[in-house]
Amino acid sequence: MRKPALCFVLALTLALALAPAAFGQLQPGDYIVELGPICPATENPDGTFSGGHGFPLYVGDGAYKLELGVLPDPVIPNNPLSVHTGFGAEAFYYICEAEMNFRVGDTRIRPRLTLAVEAAYGAEDPLNGDQFLFVRTRFRMDTPAVGQYTVRHPWGTEVFQVVDTEAELVGDNYYLLADGINFTYDWGGFAPLCPDLTPCVFGSQAPGFERIMLSPKQGPFLVQTGFPGNTGLLGDGNPATITGSPVNQNYFRVEGPTDANLNGAGGNIIETTLFTVNGRIWTGGDCPNIVTPPPPPPPPPGEDTVTVDRARYNPRNGKLEIRATSALGLLPMTAEWFNSAGVSLGSGDLSPKGRQTFDVPFVNIATMPATVVVRTQTGVSEPFPVTVNPAPR
């Protein structure tokens, strides 16, 4: 048996590349039929963002309207837009996946299927104005033998011919591949521009993004059996059966050449009816006003050196003048004064320049400041003797 290898990737990414003449009068596709208004993200003068995420409020198939946010990529900490939206390079409105796992000798046969509506960015890293919305059909599989492979899934059927030659597109659904199948079909568009369409398409609320509705490969949102009920979800992400295939194929099946032995027991057909479904139903309301969480507090400063430069007291007018410096420039600087017995008489903050005059009325020797200590967040001065002038009467 020839050892399989994924030697070729066939990826069709068709976005903003089809002239309107190719369609004649543009109309919505069969299933993705509605987009909510774009929820604009606004960059603030300090580089942070406010408002929404820059994608449509929802994507609808006529039965369900789904909001963005399932299975998001992790936030990119140094990217302000990512921090604001709460996800990294991509997130999903909807994703349905299936996988099979068979062993053929020393080789694992693991066909994988993804059907999704995805929000991402043209250059991958989050960038406002670079938002990209698309519908995806993806199928990947190592192939143990040459010949024709037919993949039947809930949104339709794909046919591949695995040969030993260079890969070539031979029509709408027939592909020549070398030693393995790695097929991704993405169709969508950027917003808000759609320069080759006037008007963009049938008066959509989300111009540019609406190209997703013209995808030749798309289907309705498949629903996990038993959902949504009152869950607000199309599925809980656990393997389960589904409903909703428009072609009566609520399964994922691969039919290989007669000698493919896909299941390890001589069979050339393998199938599963278990899928994982993730999608959250939009419950109404306007675009979310995403509130960016406050940044984490800065780490505490290092140890400070605080020096008292002056402490003078005039018992006749009861004025105590204090000057001090912080080596790290920390604020506030808080002074405290003590009498000769070490009893605290009072305290107060110095000005940002490190100086202040306090009212400390003189009554008797016990009320006269003798030493001063100044503190910052991470430092404290040595006790500094107070100069008394003139002498009390």
Q: What is the pLDDT of residues 87-129, one digit of tens each?
A: 999 999 999 999 999 987 777 889 999 999 999 998 889 999 8
List the beta bridge partners of residue 115: 96, 137
Burial class (CB in 10 A: 0-12, 13-18, 19+), 195: exposed
- Express each pLDDT in 346-359 by its tens digit: 999 999 999 999 99
pLDDT average, residue stretch 157-177: 66
pLDDT in tens, 7-53: 333 333 333 333 222 222 333 445 777 888 889 898 999 999 998 99
pLDDT of residue 17: 30
371 and 346 Cβ atoms separated by less than 8 Å: no
Query: Phi/psi of residue 343, each to 5°?
Result: -85, 130
Question: What domains does the chain contain, in order, with CATH numbers?
Answer: 10-281 (no CATH), 306-388 (2.60.40.3580)
Adjacent-strand bridge partners of 279: 94
Residue 73 to residue 236: CA distance in whole angstroms: 18
Candidates 91, 27, 94, 95; CA nearest to 65 is 94
Q: Give 167-221 as a DSSP string.
A: -EE-SSSEEEEESEEEEEEEEEEESS--TT-SSSSTT-SSTTGGGGGG-SS--PP
d(CA 346, CA 360): 8
Q: Which DSSP letter does residue 229 get?
A: T
In terms of residues, how long is the chain? Answer: 393
What tokens were used for 181? 């199948």
